[in-house]
Amino acid sequence: RIHCVNRPNSKVLTPERGTAACVMDAMDTDGPAIEFEEAAVEARQAPPDGIDALPYADKDFEVPGAREAAIALVEEEMRQFKPDMSEYAQRLPPLPQIGSYSSSFMLAEMERVAAGEAMPPVDMRKTELPPPPKSKRNDVAAWQAALDNACAQYEHQKTRLENLELLSKHGPQIWAMRTKQTKQQEEALRGNLAKITTQIQEVNWKRQSEQSTVGAALHELEVRWGQLVSKNYEIERAAQQLEAEIAVLKQGQTPA
């Protein structure tokens, strides 16, 4: 936003030199540049983590092509950026301890997932009622095992029917209660959301008001700075011209 006046022996404004140094180079006096130097010193002493951005006051993006140029720089940086994936996991927080879930079954499942192995198919033998094979049709133990399996399947289906009857009898009341609780939670969350949204709007309005006021002051100071630099440049040129005329007079010559 601020540039040095292009004059002989002028220096380029850089972040290392700062605005005050540029002003002093342009003015070469101890006059009004002192206040600019004090302001630059205060700016250099600001916290390093401060965000130097005034989105409501800065008008840089209003310059034609500025936004497109900034987006092009970001895209170019993204194309050239190659993160080091070897250190990526080191920056992540450590995994939580599983604790009581560290059973042999869970450990085996995690090992299977880590190895990329497929999940074994569901064993459907528990839902079947196969008779004893032909070679064991006269085996009492084989028939007893088949009978035990049939009894287990019967008890399982009986328990399912009982659960379905209980759900049919008490399910509507439970679902109505759960629906009421869910609506209450939704209303509470919507209230919190509205509260946070209002706080965000208040912060944005306050930020816009402060930045608009500060932006006007910054613009006024910037215009004044330019006027002072231009004025001192004109004074310096007039002084150089007078020095040249004095040098000519001392040599006894008439100026052209």
Q: Which of 228 and 219 is assigned the larger pLDDT?
A: 228
pLDDT at 210 over 80: yes
Contact call for residues 211 and 55 (beta carbons, < 8 A): yes
Give this prediction's pTM. 0.41
Look at residue 22 in the predicted model and tell me its pLDDT.
43
Look at residue 101 in the predicted model and tell me its pLDDT.
64
Banded model confidence at residue 52, pLDDT cuts 50, 70, 90: low
The residue among 226, 236, 227, 235 whose CA lies nearest residue 3 is 226
Look at residue 103 in the predicted model and tell me its pLDDT.
79
Q: Which of 201 and 104 is assigned the larger pLDDT?
A: 201
Look at residue 20 in the predicted model and tell me its pLDDT.
40
Look at residue 130 in the predicted model and tell me its pLDDT.
86
pLDDT at 98 over 70: no
Q: Which of 234 and 248 is assigned the larger pLDDT?
A: 234
Dihedrals phi, psi of 107, to nearest 5 degrees: -65, -40
Three-state SS string over the chain comes to: CCCCCCCCCCCCCCCCCHHHHHHHHHHCCCCCHHHHHHHHHHHHCCCCCCCCCCCCCCCHHHCCCHHHHHHHHHHHHHHHCCCCHHHCHHHCCCCCCCHHHCCHHHHHHHHHHHHCCCCCCCCHHHHCCCCCCHHHCCCHHHHHHHHHHHHHHHHHHHHHHHHHHHHHHHHHHHHHHHHHHHHHHHHHHHHHHHHHHHHHHHHHHHHHHHHHHHHHHHHHHHHHHHHHHHHHHHHHHHHHHHHHHHHHHHCCCCCC
Look at residue 8 in the predicted model and tell me its pLDDT.
38
Look at residue 14 in the predicted model and tell me its pLDDT.
38
pLDDT digits (tens, 9 = 90+) for 119-149: 988 888 777 888 888 888 889 999 999 999 8
Q: Is 22 exposed, middle or buried (0-12, 13-18, 19+ CB in 10 A)?
A: buried
Look at residue 33 in the predicted model and tell me its pLDDT.
41
**Rounded average pLDDT over 220-228:** 92
Banded model confidence at residue 162, pLDDT cuts 50, 70, 90: very high
State the average pLDDT for the chain: 78
pLDDT at 194 over 60: yes
